[in-house]
């Protein structure tokens, strides 16, 4: 897989960051800052001077939040695999998402389905919670409102994307 760094452990499972992710975060930051955020602000008729923080900080926060969501998604798979008797060797975050290496050849179909569904359920929960909270904070902070809208939308898209019935996605 190339160069990666171990950034932490969860219950003895190494969590690594692939070089490709480090390279894509600046690109995502720029794209979110200068395309997604202005489009969302225009859609909701929010003036561009309503932000307390510069768009680039929003882009960086959302880029990091995206891969935080991917990490939580992969941890959903890992925790479920461990609870069903599987062994998790490693979690790797990279440009195309994440990968959890699991040894669980003796898993029943129900256990395998639970492990596969755990990741998208994490993203569905994050997305739904973010969008609900966004509705509550709109009058308090435009910055937080926009972050939660984009973060929630990203997580709902991750949910749908991962349910596509194609390997190596969870739906496959």
Q: Which sequence positions are flagged as catalytic?
A: 74
Element (H, E) at 99: strand 97-103
Q: How many Å apart are CA 26 and CA 31, to the nearest integer?
A: 9
Q: How many Å apart are CA 158 and CA 122, to the nearest integer?
A: 10
DSSP character for 45?
T
Residue 168: cis peptide before it, omega within 30 degrees of 0 = yes
Closest to 7 in 3D by CA, of 77, 76, 64, 86 = 64
Q: How many Å apart are CA 95 and CA 32, to the nearest integer?
A: 16
Q: Are 92 and 18 a contacting pair, CB within 8 Å?
A: yes
Q: Are 130 and 103 a contacting pair, CB within 8 Å?
A: no
Q: Are 142 and 52 a contacting pair, CB within 8 Å?
A: yes
């Amino acid at each position: 897989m190339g160069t990666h760094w171990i950034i932490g452990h969860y219950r003895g499972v190494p969590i690594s960051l692939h070089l490709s992710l480090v390279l894509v975060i600046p690109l995502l930051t720029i794209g979110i800052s200068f395309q997604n955020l202005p489009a969302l602000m225009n859609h909701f008729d929010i003036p561009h001077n309503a932000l307390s923080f510069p768009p680039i900080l929003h882009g960086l926060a959302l880029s990091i939040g995206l891969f935080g969501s991917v990490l939580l998604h992969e941890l959903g798979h890992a925790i479920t695999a461990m609870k069903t008797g599987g062994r998790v060797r490693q979690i790797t975050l990279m440009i195309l998402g994440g990968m959890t290496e699991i040894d669980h050849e003796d898993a029943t179909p129900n256990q395998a389905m639970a492990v596969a569904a755990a990741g998208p359920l994490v993203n569905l929960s994050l997305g739904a919670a973010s969008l609900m909270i966004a509705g509550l904070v709109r009058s308090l902070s435009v910055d937080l409102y926009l972050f939660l809208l984009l973060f929630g939308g990203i997580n709902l898209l991750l949910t749908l994307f991962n349910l596509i019935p194609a390997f190596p996605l969870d739906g496959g």
